[in-house]
Amino acid sequence: MIKSERPQLSFVIPVYNSALSIGEVVGDINRRFDFLSYEVILVNDGSRDASESVCRHLVEASQGRVQYVHLAKNFSEHNAVLAGLNLSRGEYVAVLDDDGQNPPAEVLRLYEEIQRGSYDTVYGFYRQKKHHWFRNLGSRFNDKMANIMLDKPRDIYLSSFKIMNRFVVDHIIGYKGAFPYIDGLIFRTTRNIGQVAVEHKSRSEGRSGYNLRKLVALWLNMFLNFSISPLRMAAMLGLITSIASVPLMGLIVIDKLLHPEVTIGIPSVLVGMTFFSGIQLLIVGLVGEYLGRMFLDHSGAPQYVVRYTYSQPDPLGAAPVKEH
């Protein structure tokens, strides 16, 4: 598909079971951003509701501003975002949720800040989060771990609501691994990052697609794909336990010399064996996870699979994307 002109702003929106909310999000974008050239890329990440038909209708009513991408199955949010980034053409690319909790009006604040501050990326910092308490707990844990794993500045809060310039996007889409983590890719590319306080609305329809399994998978992507800190911590844990065992063994010998009539207890031996066996299994499992991800990357496991894309001719005269 040949495009005759690059839009100023691209909106990438991963869609998952949001048939009741995505129409309002796109409608709000159309109402507020008609003063500049923009495009909206909707990436359906294996939705099980009527999101497909709703998104196709939005494409047909968009006068060429909306493009729809249908993934073959659910690949997770970050994979879906990467699919959208690969198709985006804007000088700046904003990523926002499909549930209306990130008001499109707040993108203007990010857009103005990234231009005013000459940043490569600007995150939206929520004044008051309206997520479920479990999701908030997971977000706080993820943010604290990012300080260690990604060497993230403590005053920067990672959120899914952000805007990036073309320089960062072009480097992100060069990543070919099977386990993308967008924030990790951003911090691999630049430290020229800002943030802006934004509004976070309550979810009006449906519920979050994140559960414990998906949150753990997201954390593992950050821990194992973008840092070797877990291996270093495992090595330190082994070293500390080895050093700690030396004085403990000395105390056992001294106790036996002072109290030869006391028999060393079997329970204490079993507890010690269980503890150190657990540490060994933890380290072996950690190394196995690294090796497994390396194997999947080298075996060509896909980041995502596009079943088809759908669009209409845009106002700049470009041809529509054909289904395939």
pLDDT digits (tens, 9 = 90+) for 17-69: 999 999 999 999 999 998 999 999 999 999 999 999 999 999 999 888 999 99
Q: What percent of the chain has pLDDT over 90?
A: 44
pTM comes to 0.75
3-state SS record for 65-96: CEEEEEECCCCCHHHHHHHHHHHCCCCEEEEC
Per-residue pLDDT reduced to its tens digit, 253-292: 776 677 776 666 665 676 667 777 777 777 777 787 777 7
d(CA 11, CA 43): 11
Predicted local distance difference test score (pLDDT) of residue 78? 93
pLDDT > 50? residue 2:
no
Q: Helix or strand or coil: residue 227?
A: coil
pLDDT at 264: 61
Please report which confidence band the pLDDT of residue 319 belongs to, taking 50, 70 and 90 as the band edges. very low
Angle (CA) 98-315-71 rounded to 5° is 35
How far is C-alpha 16 from the chain's CA centre?
15
CA angle 318–319–320, rounded 5-degree value? 120
Question: Pick from 50, 52, 31, 30: which is nearest to 40 by CA?
Answer: 30
Mean of the per-residue pLDDT values of the chain: 82
pLDDT tens readout for residues 101-134: 889 999 999 999 998 888 999 999 887 765 555 5
Closest CA to 11 of 35, 40, 34: 40
H or E segment at 135?
helix 133-149
Whole-number Å distance between alpha carbons of 52 and 45 = 10
